[in-house]
Amino acid sequence: MRNRPRWGLVLLPLLVAALAVPAAAQQPAAPAATPAPAPPKPKPPAKPAAAAATKPAAKPATPPAAATGGAQPKLLGQYGDWGAYTASPGGKKICFAIAKPTGSQTVPPNRPRNPIYMFISTRPADKVSNEVSIVIGYPFKPGSEASAQIGSTTYALYTQQDGAWIKNAAEEAQMVTALRSGDSAVIKGASAKGTQTTDTFTLKGISQALDRTAAECK
């Protein structure tokens, strides 16, 4: 088994930076923080509303500077739901494809979670290619396993903190082939507090993203 937890945990700040969204948007509003009602104001004219209607759509998040070695992820291309990036934390070039889930469920329902990602990284300096990892958005139950279902095949994942990696490294190449040819990947796990989660990732664009990262990190 490769020493993936160590690398995965080092890379998480960098990888999450690539698709990070404001933390405030991920958390439910705190009841105690409800602001006092503003004093009555005259009804605003129609001009601001019109301006809002013509406001450009939000662009994909621009990767900020990463905390690891000052590296900053560079977008190589966006392919469907998958982005291809490169960066050089600690002077070592890496490339990765990354996506957010298109659907998430929790039991009990509506449990708060941090952002969730699946990413596939290549690190030439370490002779690692297409390593599959998941950031689940909560601490896994210690000692628990998660699972990834792609089509009719299910892969066991081992967990550490909020990350998951394939348990049998010999199956990783097969898993990547399944991701390239599949329609979706369903990740299931359990949090330290007992919350059961199911996250669905669409695989549209993953082949193109992986081809781009392979070309960049030969």
Burial class (CB within 10 angstroms; exposed 0-12, middle 13-18, buried 19+) of 11:
buried
Is 143 within a domain?
yes
Tens of pLDDT along the chain (218 residues)? Answer: 445 554 555 565 666 556 553 333 333 333 444 444 454 454 444 443 433 333 333 344 334 343 334 568 999 999 999 999 999 988 899 999 999 999 999 999 999 999 999 999 999 999 999 999 999 999 999 999 999 999 999 999 999 999 999 999 999 999 999 999 999 999 999 999 999 999 999 999 999 999 999 999 98
Range of the domain at 192: 73-218
CATH number at residue 80: 2.60.40.1880
Per-residue tokens: 105: 């469920």
What's the pLDDT score for residue 29? Answer: 38
Is 77 within a domain?
yes
The H-or-E segment that residue 4 falls in is helix 4-18
Q: Name the pTM for this structure.
A: 0.73
What's the pLDDT score for residue 15? Answer: 60
Per-residue tokens: 27: 């958390």
Distance CA 43, CA 74 (A): 45
Is 65 within a domain?
no
Helix %, strand %, coil % of the chain (to 5): 30, 35, 40
What's the pLDDT score for residue 14? Answer: 60
Is 117 within a domain?
yes
Q: How many domains does the chain have?
A: 1
Contact (Cβ atoms closer than 8 angstroms) between residue 165 and residue 145? no
Contact (Cβ atoms closer than 8 angstroms) between residue 98 and residue 106? no
